[in-house]
A = this chain, B = another copy of it.
Amino acid sequence: MQRYFADSKITTEYQLTPEIYKHAIKVLRMKVGDIFELVDDVEVVHKMEITKIEDGKAKATSVEIIPSDVELPADVTIACGISKNDKADWIVQKSTEMGATKFIFFIGDYSVAKWDKKRSSKKVQRLQKIARSAAEQSHRTKIPEVTFVEKLKDIDFEKNDARIVAYEESAKKGESGNLFKILNKKPSNIIAIFGPEGGISPKEIEFLEANSFILAGLGPRIMRAETAPLYFLASLSFALELS
């Protein structure tokens, strides 16, 4: 069933926002009596029935609360050095499907792509839209937050009780147990750092190690910058939700 986020409290009668109106009434051609799902601002999922469509506006009413438990049992921040092309787009789309809670993009020492102030705020807006739409599609109750910081050092990881950096050099040296060890402790607030296409610089690694980040290999194969976060999130879900 089609799902939307309300970003607000849902009282008896809900007026569809212009965005939801456009998609539900114009694109999907929903009629009075049709049903959709709406997630309110405290992650409660309502089954909504459309009650009125008039003058370019529509109203719906909550007919049922749908129990939902689809979020990962941990907060997971995916922090990525920016790469070229639309890689960030699909890191956000796919990682949202896989349950990420938050995204931070940063300009890595080896980033070839550059996001200046204007570009970065546009990019973040666009990525935030992608996150919302992927969260709707994967029937989540949380829209991941997307942010941008200039440098790796600007990331606030104070609250993260598990700090991981996906490091290709670790994998090459045969490191294969760290990810399992970390996930086995069932951490509740995780941050994982991924380099841009060019990788993470020794200086960045030094900084991360000095801040209690664990270097972890993600298997023996070399993955592209946009694939590694998915490997990480799937492993996390497998370890925390399926094992």
Q: How large is the interface on A (under 10, 10 to 19, 20 to 34, 35 or more residues)?
A: 35 or more
A138 touches B176 (CB 8 A): no
B235 touches A242 (CB 8 A): yes
Bound form: Cα–Cα A139–B222 in Å:
6
Bound form: Cα–Cα A230–B230 in Å:
7
- Within 219-239 of A, Cβ neighbours of B (below 8 Å) are at 219-224, 227, 230-235, 237-239
A176 touches B235 (CB 8 A): no
B98 touches A223 (CB 8 A): yes
Interface of A, helix, strand, loop or mixed by DSSP = loop
Chain B residue, CB-CB nearest to A178: B242
Bound form: Cα–Cα A49–B140 in Å:
52
A242 touches B97 (CB 8 A): no
Nearest CB on B from A135, distance (A):
9
B224 touches A241 (CB 8 A): no
B180 touches A227 (CB 8 A): no
Bound form: Cα–Cα A70–B222 in Å:
9
- Does residue A137 face the partner (Cβ distance < 8 Å to B)? yes
Bound form: Cα–Cα A196–B220 in Å:
29
Chain B residues in 8 Å Cβ range of A177: 242
- Given known contacts A234-B235, A242-B235, A221 and B138 CB-to-CB distance under 8 angstroms: yes
Nearest CB on B from A151, distance (A):
28
Q: List 9 A-B contacts (CB under 8 A).
A: A94-B230, A97-B221, A137-B222, A180-B243, A219-B241, A235-B237, A235-B238, A235-B242, A238-B239
A139-B221, A238-B239 known, 17 other contacts, Cβ within 8 Å: A97-B221, A97-B223, A97-B224, A97-B227, A98-B223, A98-B231, A138-B222, A140-B221, A177-B242, A179-B238, A179-B242, A180-B243, A219-B241, A227-B230, A231-B234, A234-B234, A235-B242
